[in-house]
Amino acid sequence: MKRDVLTIFLASPSDLEEERKKFREVVNDFNSVFGKRVGWQIELLVWEDTLPGCDRPQSIINKDVDYCELFIGMIWKRWGQTTGEYSSGFEEEFVRARNRREKTDKPEIWLLFKKIDEEQSRDPGEQLKKVFDFQHEQIQKKELMFKEFRDTAEFEKLIYKYLIAYVLDLSKETVESKIESKSISLESSKLEITKNETEYSKKTVSDYSDIIPLFEKVQVSLKKEGANNVDFWDRSRLLLTASSWFSEKHSGEIFGGHETNLAYVKRKEWKLSGEELRFLVRTMVGDINNVLPGWY
């Protein structure tokens, strides 16, 4: 099965090591169990996996931030250390993701706060105070929804539930998008066919030089000997003519496969009218199994 890939960047200071480890386990479980059944795979991007390079360390990590489709920021008591441009790596990653979203509508951003006990809240210290300032800023701006969790066990349940719901929504959007794309393609094809038929009708003047003599010949035969002695190929041509005239009023009608092959046999002898040619064009367009001869 061909799988779609959801790239997730996980941002957090160093005091959430257990949650980061648990997040990896959730992603691995999702990919091995759930992902196979819905055709989706999660690619997790974390700073621990960033390769070394000749650049400011945070600049290298930022490449993954710029690549992700879902940015998940987790924060607890620590804010982090300065990167040279921002007060912490978490702040730089978050600001970078938020700025890209404002311009491109991507990535999706989730914020998760691990709850602080009351005793720590009374005397937060410099690091925790920055966390509180950041949380208060998000509340004031009302730009992002965020969730809180008490411990690693609650975090595991929370993130697994959110990932499943999010990927299911993505799967639905992907299917609907493909259906819409196919519908648009089909409608475009129908419009093009209709346009081609219209143009072809303008260029093709109905020529009845074969049909009028055929009618006269069949009329004589009917008067003298009845329908049983009408020539087989004359019958075939009459069927094509009558069917083409009928299809001019009922455009969904097409010729049968056996009948089309009979017309193919006589392709060099019969001088077809405009109606007959248009009828055969519609027949070929409607040949979903590609078994009819496209001789016209």
**129 vs 122: CA distance, rounded Å:** 10
In a domain, 226, yes or no: yes
Q: State pLDDT tens for residues 130-151.
A: 999 999 999 998 888 789 999 9
**Residue 237 placed within a domain:** yes
Q: 199 lies in a domain?
A: no
Domain count, the chain: 2
Euclidean distance between CA atoms 283 and 252, whole angstroms: 9
Quick: pLDDT tens for 172-196: 766 555 545 555 555 555 565 555 5
Helices 152-203 & 274-285 angle (0-180, nearest 10): 160
Residue 235 has pLDDT above 80, yes or no: yes
Check whether 154 has a pLDDT greater than 90. yes
Give pLDDT tens digits for 236-255.
Answer: 888 988 888 887 776 557 77
Q: Say if pTM beats, i.e. exceeds, 0.85.
A: no
Q: Are 77 and 131 in contact (CB under 8 A)?
A: yes
Q: Residue 97: pLDDT band by 50, 70, 90 thresholds?
A: very high
Range of the domain at 115: 4-179
Residues 141 and 248 in one domain: no
Task: Let me know whether 139 and 226 are in one domain.
Answer: no
CATH number, domain containing residue 100:
3.40.50.10140
Residue 124 falls inside a structural domain: yes
In this prediction, residue 204 carries a pLDDT of 46
Q: Is the pLDDT at 296 greater than 50, yes or no?
A: no
Residue, of 59 and 113, whose pLDDT is higher:
113
